[in-house]
Structure 1
Amino acid sequence: MSKAIEFHFKSPNDSPGYLLGQLTMLWQRKLKKVLDPLSLTQTQFVLLAALGWLSKKNDSVTQTEIASQSNADRMMVSKVLRTLVDKRFITRQEHATDTRAKVIKLTNEGSIVLQKALIAVEETDIAFFVSLEATLSSFNKTMVQLIDSNS
C-alpha cells in the first residue's frame, strides 16, 4: 500500500494559490469572449493597454518600457509586438538616440481597437467583480501588495 499524501491545506478552498488559479481561469475565459471579436488575445490587449498608458506621458515608448509596465518577459513582448505590427495596430521604429531600442506607437486602427477593448474589458471587470462591491478597493490593495512583495 502506498503512503498517504499529506497536504498542508485541509481542502482546495483553503489554498490561496489554488483559489487564485481558479479565479484567474474564470476571468480569462470572460476576457477571451470579449477580446476574440476584436482579434486580440489577452496578452496582446495587455501590451496595447500598457502602450496606451505609457503614451499618455511619453511620445517615445520603448519595448522595454512596455515589458516593465506589463510585468512581461522581454522576448515574449518582442514576439507579441511583431504580431501587433502584422495586424497594423502598432508601428515599431528605431529610437532617435538609442540604436538598440525600438519606439512603439499605436496606429489609428490600433487606437480604435484599443478603445473598444478597454470598454469591453472594463465592463467585463465590473460585472465579474460586482459581488465584491464594498470590499473591491481592499481587494485591489491586497493584490497590489502581493504584486509588490513578490516582484
Structure 2
Amino acid sequence: MTRFAGGPADSPGFLLWRTTLRWQRSVADALGPLGLTHVQFVLLACAWWLNKQGQQPNQVTIAAQAATDVKMTSEVLRRLESRGLVERRPDTRDTRAKVIVVTDAGAALALRAFKVVEDADAAFFGDASVPLMEELRRLANFGVEATSDSAGGAGDVQPAGTDREAG
C-alpha cells in the first residue's frame, strides 16, 4: 500500500518525474531546429561558459560542470567536434588530456541556443517566482556536499552573483 491515497498525483517524486519529462521535451523541441540535442546544448553551453571564464576545461571538468557521465560527455564532445563546434587541443598541464575550446561557430550557435532555451523555459515555467527558484536550487543541491570548485559543477548550485563560499 502506498502512503499516497490519491495515487501518483499526490507523489512529489512522480510529479517531479512528469514535470522533468515535459520540460525536457519542450527544450528538445526548441533546440531541434538548431540541430542540437538537449545534452549537446548543455555540454556546449558549459564549455562556452568555462571558456568565457578564462578556463581551459578538459572533458572531466565539463562533465563535472554539467553533472554528466564522463564517457557520455566524451562521446557528445566528439560529435560536437565533428560538427566544428568545439576543438580538442593538447593540454599543456597533462599530455594525456585534451582541453576543449569552443570554436567561433560553436559560440555563435551557443548564443542562439541560449535564446531559444530561455524562451522555452519562460514558456514552460512562466514568471518563475523567487520561492520556486529557491526550492529548485534546494532540490538540485539535495544530498550534494557544497564544493568550492570554480566551475560551479557537480557541487552546489548557487544563484548568479552569490559567494559560493558563504553557502
The verdict on a shared fold, with TM-score over 0.5 as the criterion, is yes
Query: Are residue 79 (structure 1) and residue 75 (structure 2) matched?
Result: yes
What percentage of residue pairs aligned between the two structures are identical?
38
Moved more, 35-44 or 54-63: 54-63
Among residues 59, 62, 68, which one is paired with 2:58 in the alignment?
Answer: 62
| Aligned-residue offset at 1:52 | 1.7
Are 2:18 and 1:22 equivalent residues in the alignment? yes
SS in 2 for 1:100: strand
Letter in 1 for 2:121: D
Structure 1 residue ranges (4+ consecutive) displaced by more than 6 angstroms after TM superposition? none
Q: Give the CA RMSD over aligned residues.
A: 1.3
Taking structure 2 as the reference length, what is the TM-score of the superposition? 0.80
Q: Does 1:145 align with 2:138?
A: yes
Describe the SS at the equivalent of 2:2.
coil
Residue of structure 2 aligned with 1:99, choices 91, 95, 99? 95
Q: 1:8 offset after TM fit, Å?
A: 2.4
Give SS of 2:88's match.
strand
Question: Once the 2 structures are TM-superposed, how far is the Cα of residue 62 of structure 1 from its aligned partner?
Answer: 1.5
| Equivalent pairs, count | 143
Q: 1:113 aligns with which of 97, 109, 116?
A: 109
Question: Which consecutive residues of structure 1, in runs of 5 or more, have no partner in the other structure?
Answer: 1-5
- Counterpart in 2 of 1:129? 125
Please state how far the C-alpha of 1:100 moved relative to its aligned partner. 2.5
Give 1 or 2: higher helix fraction.
1
Deviates more, 1:14-23 or 1:54-63: 54-63
Q: Is the 8 A contact 1:38 1:117 kept in 2?
A: yes
Of structures 1 and 2, the larger Rg is shown by 1
- What TM-score do you get using the length of structure 1 for normalisation? 0.88
Match of 2:99, SS? strand
